Structure 1
Amino acid sequence: MALQFSEKQKKLSSALVNGPLSLDQLAERTNLKMSDAQEELKFLMQLKLVSLQGMPPVYALKDEVANELKHRKMIELTDDNTFRVEIMIEVQGVEEELVKRQSEKILENLAKEPFFKIYSKKVAPIEKVDEKYSTYIDVNLSVRDFRGMVRLMFFYGPASIEVIKPSKIEFTLNDFQDGLVDMTDMVHAYANYIMGILNRKQIEEFNAKLFRGVGNAQHVKASQGKPETKENPSVDDLPTI
């Protein structure tokens, strides 16, 4: 996932988007103490995101960083989506070309989604691990609402997700209801698919262990006792799917 920046570092970077500034100017525009601003700028310089130029010295964002921030700010002007997240999607396959095409298809589909707005995307170089090829896709995007978040998680299955904002979430009853309905439909679709590829014996074993686990949980709640480990099914006990 992306490197985490402090609020002070974000303020300084934002102030530098439109051009170089001296330390005095940066401190004034960000309402930071000069000592704090200087300390944060040292960190940004270590990452080679900011450079110190000229005499008298001024701080400047690297061109590619400034251009990327301007690009994101332009998107934000018309973005009223509720959530901003960064996700990592892993792609694997037995053929390198297949992994490449699948990665391109995922990005194409994300861009078409009315629920999402893409801020940035990056595909890692494809690597061969044992007999498989793999890569990962980092995407910074906004999501319209709770229903859109459900769609993102179920259809794209990110290996990890970082919520950038908001710090507090509010959504309407209709949005919550629509998201739960979509979630129910997707869970049933997955269940039907799994049942379709298991044979009768595997289904019976799966159901027996599943309901045995439910029974154990109810027994523990009623007795407040601790169940024996052997009575609780683990992941290893489930049939291979």
Structure 2
Amino acid sequence: MAKKEPVDKGTKKKADEKVSKSGWLRAAMMFEVLAIREDAARNAMEKHVDALSKEKWVMAYKKDIGKPDRIENPLPNKPQLKEAYSCVSEVECVVQRYEDLISIVMHYGPSSIEILEPNNLTLDLGEAQGILNSVADLVHKFVAAGIGGIVVKT
């Protein structure tokens, strides 16, 4: 079976048009996953990238999933874990709004993200407020789950 190319040329052409004619944003991002088994690392990464690609507001044209690497003593605070597998992927996509990139960061957790185009951004007040409310909502979800929150100074 031939190796699947990481860039879908048809989707990239449509993405290029969205950026040049409609002012969409182009971004590159890296994702990382760590698992005890090699197949689990690869499968988890494939599912994660696939879920992002299926979002209606994301046009992903490059999905390059690397081969999992064996890592010795991956978590220093867990000495009982002697080895694990790390899988890294690079995704390039276009989105219509800056708020969409914020959503990717909050819901898909890339380890890094780079805005490739345009060189300058302008946010209207509604979009800026939407971003702030999305971040506030995420913080409240952490609080409700008992896994975080904001320390109130008294």
Q: Aligning the two structures, in what range does the TM-score lie when normalised by the shorter sequence?
A: 0.7 to 0.9
The correspondence for 1:181, drawn from 89, 112, 133, is 133
1:167 aligns with 119
Tell me whether 186-195 or 109-118 shows the greater mean CA deviation.
186-195
Distance 1:192 1:68 in 2: 40
- 8 A contact 1:88–1:160 mirrored in 2: yes
- Runs of 5+ unmatched residues, structure 1: 1-63, 197-202, 216-241
CA drift at 1:138: 0.2
Structure number with higher relative contact order (C-alpha < 8 Å, ≥ 6 residues apart): 2
What is aligned with 2:55?
113
Gaps of 5+ in 2: 73-82
CA distance in 1, matches of 2:144, 2:68: 33
The residue correspondences of 1:83-102 to structure 2 (distance < 5 A) are 83-102=25-44
Q: Is the 8 A contact 2:9 2:61 kept in 1?
A: no
- SS of equivalent to 2:123: coil
C-alpha contact (below 8 Å) 2:60/2:92 kept by paired residues = yes
Correspondent of 1:153 among 105, 114, 117: 105
- Deviation per residue, 1:84-125 (Å, 9 max, x gap): 110000111112222122111112111111221112110111
Q: Which amino acid aligns with 2:118?
A: P
The answer on whether the counterparts of 1:91 and 1:99 sit within 8 Å (CA) in structure 2 is yes
The CA distance in 2 between the partners of 1:148 and 1:135, in whole Å, is 25
Answer 1 or 2: which has greater strand percent: 2
Alpha carbons of structure 1 residues 68 and 185: separation in structure 2 relative to 1, 3 Å: closer
Stretches (4+) displaced over 4 A: 67-71
Q: Which protein is richer in helix relative to its size?
A: 1
Residues 1-241 of structure 1 aligned to structure 2 (within 5 Å): 72-78=12-18, 80=22, 82-130=24-72, 131-195=83-147, 211=153
Structure 1 residue 191, shift from structure 2 partner = 3.2
Q: 1:71 offset after TM fit, Å?
A: 5.6
C-alpha contact 1:86 1:161 (8 A) present in aligned 2? yes
The CA distance in 1 between the partners of 2:113 and 2:35, in whole Å, is 22
Equivalent pair of 1:115/1:148 in contact (CA under 8 Å):
yes
Aligned to 1:158, the other structure's residue is in SS state coil
Partners of 1:71 and 1:114 lie apart in 2 by 14
Which residue identity does 1:133 align to in structure 2? Y
Bigger Rg over Cα: 1
